[in-house]
Amino acid sequence: MSGRLPLRPGGEIEVAQRERFAAVGRVAATIAHELGTPLNSVLGYTQLLLQEEPDAHRREKLAIIESQVRRMIDTIQGVLDRTRGRQTPHAEVEVGAVIDDAVATLSPLAATAGVTLRTSIPVPLPPYRGDAIAVRQILINLVKNSIEAAGSGGSVEVAARADAEAGIGPALALEVSDTGPGVAQEERALIFEPLYTTKQAENGTGLGLAIALGLAREHGGRIVVGDGASGGAVFCVSLPLER
């Protein structure tokens, strides 16, 4: 484990957290900048290959590569915009489509890990305005974390609903639950700290949950971790519907 904050009076802890988030933001901006050029190169070559009129099967695979590279570029641009203090434009978010997209992106990872990945999305969901890329990134980070926690033979479920009692007024609730070992009470505040991780060094950076929390807070929301109904952990993201 790493990244534990020393115990300090409340105000000093908040300052330390802000400083650590700022430092992580600067590192993320540097990495994002360095990744931008090669990703744009990959995108360019993919588009050139698509122009060569490949067969339908190859075209489908190239189109998937193109769409995923575009998403990476959009995510990187979002990181750079936030580090530069730019306001991310909010628009109507098709929450169900964002969930489906995040789940589809991580389905290969779940299959490789032997984890069942499913969704529970009521129709209709309440209309929500926000940054679709940020909402997707929150889900990607939480679902990836839960897949790793669930392990072979486990399962992860992504659910969405309206929540009138979220503590922040009417909210959109996104829940990611898994059948893993759960999160010990003493770990629940620490797991959202940048660079704190309980995983082996090669399996985690300690940034996924911190980034998810930061994005939720940018939307005026929060993330709470608790016990799942049938064991494991459940991460509940509350995003206010009225801002």
- Domains in the chain: boundaries: 10-83, 91-240
Same fold, 10-83 and 91-240: no
CA distance linking residue 121 with residue 55, whole number of Å: 36
Q: Is 178 exposed, middle or buried (0-12, 13-18, 19+ CB in 10 A)?
A: buried
Cβ count within 10 A of residue 173: 18
Concatenated DSSP letters of 123-148: SSPPPEEE-HHHHHHHHHHHHHHHHH
What is the pTM (predicted TM-score) of this model? 0.72
CA distance linking residue 73 with residue 171, whole number of Å: 29
The reported pLDDT for the residue numbered 7 is 42
Q: What would be the CATH architecture of the domain defined by 91-240? A: 2-Layer Sandwich (3.30)
The residues, any chain, with a CB within 8 Å of residue 8's CB and separated by 6 or more, are 16
The reported pLDDT for the residue numbered 210 is 83
The reported pLDDT for the residue numbered 6 is 43
Backbone region of residue 153 per phi and psi (left: phi > 0; alpha: psi in -120 to 50; beta: other values): left
Q: What is the CATH number of domain 10-83?
A: 1.10.287
CA distance linking residue 209 with residue 235, whole number of Å: 10
- At 5, list the tokens: 């904050």
Q: Strand order of the sheet with strand 116-120?
A: 116-120, 155-163, 171-178, 233-240, 222-227
- At 120, list the tokens: 């529970």
The reported pLDDT for the residue numbered 141 is 92
The reported pLDDT for the residue numbered 138 is 94
pLDDT tens track, the chain, 243 positions: 344 444 444 556 556 656 666 666 666 667 777 777 888 888 898 999 988 888 888 888 898 888 888 878 877 777 666 666 666 678 899 999 999 999 988 999 999 999 999 999 888 888 899 989 889 989 999 999 999 999 999 999 999 998 877 677 889 999 999 999 988 888 887 888 776 666 554 555 557 888 888 889 889 999 999 998 778 999 999 999 876
The reported pLDDT for the residue numbered 13 is 53
- At 212, list the tokens: 């998810």
The reported pLDDT for the residue numbered 222 is 92
Q: Count of H helices and E strands in the chain?
A: 5, 7
The reported pLDDT for the residue numbered 86 is 62
